[in-house]
Amino acid sequence: MKSHLLRWALTSVAATCLALGAEAGPRTVTIGPGVSLDSLARKYHVAVKDIARANHISVNAVLIDGHRLVIPEPPKPVRRPATMHMRAWINGDRVSIRLGPSEHSRRVTLLDHGAPLVATARAGDWVQVKLPGASIGWVKSDFLKMGGSVTRVAHHQTPHRTASTGAKRKLHVAKQERLARLHRLHLARLHHQRRVAAIRHTHERKHSVAHHTSGSSDIVRTAFAYRGTPYHYGGSGRRGFDCSGFTAYVYSRKGIRLPHSAAEQFNVGRRVPAGQLKQGDLVFFHTTRRGISHVGIYVGNGKFVHASSAGGSVRVDSLTSGYYRERFRGARRVR
């Protein structure tokens, strides 16, 4: 009796396992009267083309009673990316932004450390981001630093900004009144004298800037004319530049041809020591794991102009402090 019960139990378990296995994977069915690929597709929630492919037959094949067909597994439901709206920044050097959430997806652009973005969705280890030019791409979450919600941050900051502005205005008026009493002047007279001083200072500053500009190189003047032009990976024209495309374009306006590559431009001209830089010299940086990967044009006073992926446009940055000081690798004089 015990032996009979044991055999029955084992048979039941085996049958259950077979049934579960059949549900989990492809199944085989025997064709009966009136059965077609369409009816099988509807019954088992599988596309006609998938059944035809699994059995190596045409999608228009006529099924014969008694024949057996393999029914493949129905497709697993696609998980939609979780949506968000967060502030984000690139946390790495020359990080690839791709068209889709995969290493095999086409690269849209490269961004440098600190480039501001808005994270809009997440799919596994990938985050969908809105780029400075409003286009969309995907980046590995390892290379992204995220902050607070865009809408939430804006909502909380606005009242604070208003209150701060009001407090600053009251403090400014109080300081002016104390200054007027100290110099025994009426407040209106103080305002008049300050306006005269401000006009004189502005005139002197404009004269100084004009004098400086007149002595600067044609290369720098040309480069300054394109400040604010959008950053565009691979770009080398007025609609958008990348770093080497910008320097090559500026020099081409003066009849000098440069290769469209920061690493190759590093081999052009002659080396210049950091202490002997002049306006118009090319300055080079190491912003990736190896080699020269970024270039700009020295403009004087420890600054350089370049097409910045982090800033999203052609801009002026410091060569003597911050991010670029640590990554400066040398300079070349081409002209």
The whole-number pLDDT of residue 177 equals 56
Q: Which two tokens stand for residue 240?
A: 């958008």
How many Å is the maximal CA-CA distance in the chain? 119
Of 113, 160, 212, 306, which residue is the catalytic one?
306
- Compare 23 and 229 and report the one with higher pLDDT: 229
Query: What is the per-residue pLDDT for 212?
Result: 39
Active-site position among 67, 191, 212, 243: 243
Q: What is the pTM of this model?
A: 0.44
Confidence check: pLDDT of 3 > 70? no
Binning pLDDT at 50, 70 and 90, where does residue 299 land?
A: very high
Residue 280 has a pLDDT of 94
What integer best gives the mean pLDDT of the chain? 75
Q: What is the mean pLDDT of residues 4-29?
A: 49
- Percent of the chain whose pLDDT exceeds 70: 68
Active site residue 306: yes
Which range in 128-137, 150-159, 183-192, 271-280 is most confidently predicted, on average pLDDT?
271-280
Q: At residue 46, does pLDDT exceed 50?
A: yes
* Residues sharing a CB contact under 8 Å with residue 318, sequence separation 6 or more, in sequence order: 302, 303, 324, 325
Q: For residue 323, is pLDDT > 70?
A: yes
Residue 207: the pLDDT is 45
Top-confidence residue, 256 or 75: 256
Q: Tell me whether residue 191 is one of the annotated catalytic residues.
A: no
Task: Check 183, 207, 260, 294 and give the catalytic one.
Answer: 294
Q: For the segment 248-264, what is each residue's pLDDT rounded down to a tens digit?
A: 999 998 889 999 999 99
Domains of the chain plus CATH, in order, are: 2-71 (3.10.350.10), 82-151 (2.30.30.40), 154-215 (no CATH), 218-333 (3.90.1720.10)
pLDDT reading at 160 higher than 70: no
Whether 228 shows a pLDDT value over 50: the answer reads yes
For residue 132, the model assigns a pLDDT of 65
Tell me: the pLDDT tens digits for 77-129? 555 566 778 888 887 767 888 888 888 787 777 777 777 888 888 888 899 98
The pLDDT assigned to 200 comes to 47
3-state SS of the chain is CHHHHHHHHHHHHHHHHHHHHHHHCCEEEECCCCCCHHHHHHHHCCCHHHHHHHHCCCCCCCCCCCCEEEECCCCCCCCCCEEEEEEEEECCCCEEEECCCCCCCCEEEEECCCCEEEEEEEECCEEEEECCCCCEEEEEHHHEEEEEEHHHHHHHHHHHHHHHHHHHHHHHHHHHHHHHHHCCCCHHHHHHHHHHHHHHHHHHHHHHHHHHHHHCCHHHHHHHCCCCCEECCCCEECCEECHHHHHHHHHHCCCCCCCCCHHHHCCCCEEECHHHCCCCCEEEECCCCCCCCEEEEEEECCEEEEEECCCCEEEEEECCCCHHHHHEEEEEECC
Report d(CA 118, CA 294) in Å as an integer: 24
Going by DSSP bridges, is the β-strand pair 282-285/82-90 parallel, antiparallel, or unpaired?
Answer: unpaired
Q: ∠ at Cα 314 (313, 315), nearest 5°?
A: 105
Is 67 a known active-site residue?
Answer: no
Helices 37-44, 48-55: axis angle to 10 degrees equals 110
